[in-house]
């Protein structure tokens, strides 16, 4: 087996809320290897979003070990974490999180700006990423001029444009109708089959069934971590 991309060991995350300590995660350990397709499942409040934030280096654990590509995340400064997010992780959010005033192209260029890519190369790569998600003709549209599915595809293009090690998708179909949701899931399937590592956070069984491995979280702990014997590979409307 290859060296894990992500290795977490006994991590916990607690918050202070109104004088009370909330245990969002308690003693979670898992490894994720390159080119895995993982679904993090759990009901609302289970701690899956907290786990996603930690995996995505948006947050750090209160205790435990997290190594990303062998590097100790706990030892990293805020700037180091920003750099990991920029170069290694591509986020796709439920609410798309596109900048409303920027065009599709500018939105995709954004992570490249923070990694210091020259403006010509930025534009070139952003156009390519947009074309790859089938939106080559929507470059100068702003998010409010795009449909939900198109917005999520722009978000996916933005996540992919830096060629990250991991695509981290948080309820990516949550705001989409079934048909568009299927389109997006097909996109993730394609990404995975091209060698990307995809981590999907969802509470929907239908969505989770696309993944090859399903990790169920409940009350801040890993309830089960299983290989999906029958992943969905056909993308048809029910």
- Distance of closest approach, residue 80 Cβ to another protein, in angstroms: 10
DSSP state of 4: P
Question: Which of residues 15 and 235 has its CB atom nearest to another protein in the complex?
Answer: 15
Q: Does 87 bind another protein (CB under 8 A)?
A: yes
Q: Of the listed pieces 36-44, 51-59, 186-194, 207-215, which binds another protein according to CB under 8 A?
A: 51-59
Q: Mark 130-159 with x for binding to another protein (rule: CB under 8 A) and - for no binding.
A: ----------------------------x-
CA distance 232 to 222: 23
Residue 110 CA, chain-centre distance (Å), reads 17
Element (H, E) at 230: none
- Distance of closest approach, residue 24 Cβ to another protein, in angstroms: 11
Q: Of the listed pieces 56-64, 134-142, 190-198, 220-228, which binds another protein according to CB under 8 A?
A: 56-64
Q: Does 14 bind another protein (CB under 8 A)?
A: no
For 208, the 3-state DSSP assignment is helix
Q: Does 9 bind another protein (CB under 8 A)?
A: no
**Total number of residues that touch another protein (CB under 8 A):** 29
Q: Does 10 bind another protein (CB under 8 A)?
A: no
The C-alpha torsion from 97 through 103 and 108 to 111, rounded to 10°, is -70
Across 33-184, the runs of DSSP E, i.e. the strands, are: 37-41, 63-68, 71-72, 89-92, 166-170
Q: Does 120 bind another protein (CB under 8 A)?
A: no
Q: Does 193 bind another protein (CB under 8 A)?
A: no
Number of Cβ within 10 Å of residue 40's Cβ equals: 28
Question: Which of residues 171 and 214 has its CB atom nearest to another protein in the complex?
Answer: 171
Note whether 181 and 187 are within 8 A (CB). Answer: no
Residue 217 CA, chain-centre distance (Å), reads 17
Contact with another protein (CB under 8 A) among 37, 93, 188, 192: 93
Q: In what order do the strands lie in the sheet with 197-202?
A: 89-92, 166-170, 197-202, 37-41, 213-218, 221-227
Q: Does 65 bind another protein (CB under 8 A)?
A: no
Q: List residues near another protein by CB under 8 A.
A: 53, 56, 58-59, 78-79, 82-83, 85-87, 91, 93, 97-99, 101, 110-111, 113-119, 122, 158, 162
């Amino acid at each position: 087996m290859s060296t894990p991309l992500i290795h977490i060991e006994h991590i916990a995350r607690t918050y202070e809320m109104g004088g009370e300590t909330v245990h969002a995660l308690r003693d979670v350990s898992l490894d994720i290897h390159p080119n895995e397709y993982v679904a993090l499942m759990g009901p609302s409040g289970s701690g899956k979003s907290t786990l996603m934030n930690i995996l995505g280096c948006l947050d750090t654990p209160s205790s435990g070990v997290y190594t990303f590509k062998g590097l100790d995340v706990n030892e990293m400064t805020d700037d180091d974490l920003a750099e990991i997010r920029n170069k290694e992780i591509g986020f796709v959010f439920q609410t798309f999180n596109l900048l409303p005033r920027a065009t599709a192209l500018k939105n995709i260029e954004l992570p490249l700006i923070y990694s210091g890519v020259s403006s010509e190369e930025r534009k070139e790569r952003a156009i390519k990423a947009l074309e790859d998600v089938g939106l080559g003709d929507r470059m100068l549209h702003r998010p409010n001029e795009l449909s939900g599915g198109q917005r999520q595809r722009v978000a996916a293009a933005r996540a992919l444009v830096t060629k990250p090690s991991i695509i981290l998708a948080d309820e990516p179909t949550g705001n989409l109708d079934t048909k568009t949701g299927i389109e997006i899931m097909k996109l993730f399937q394609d990404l995975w089959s091209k060698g990307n590592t995809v981590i999907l956070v969802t509470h929907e069984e239908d969505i989770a069934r696309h993944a090859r491995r399903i990790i169920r979280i409940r009350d801040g702990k890993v309830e089960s971590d299983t290989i999906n014997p029958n992943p969905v590979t056909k993308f048809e409307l029910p």
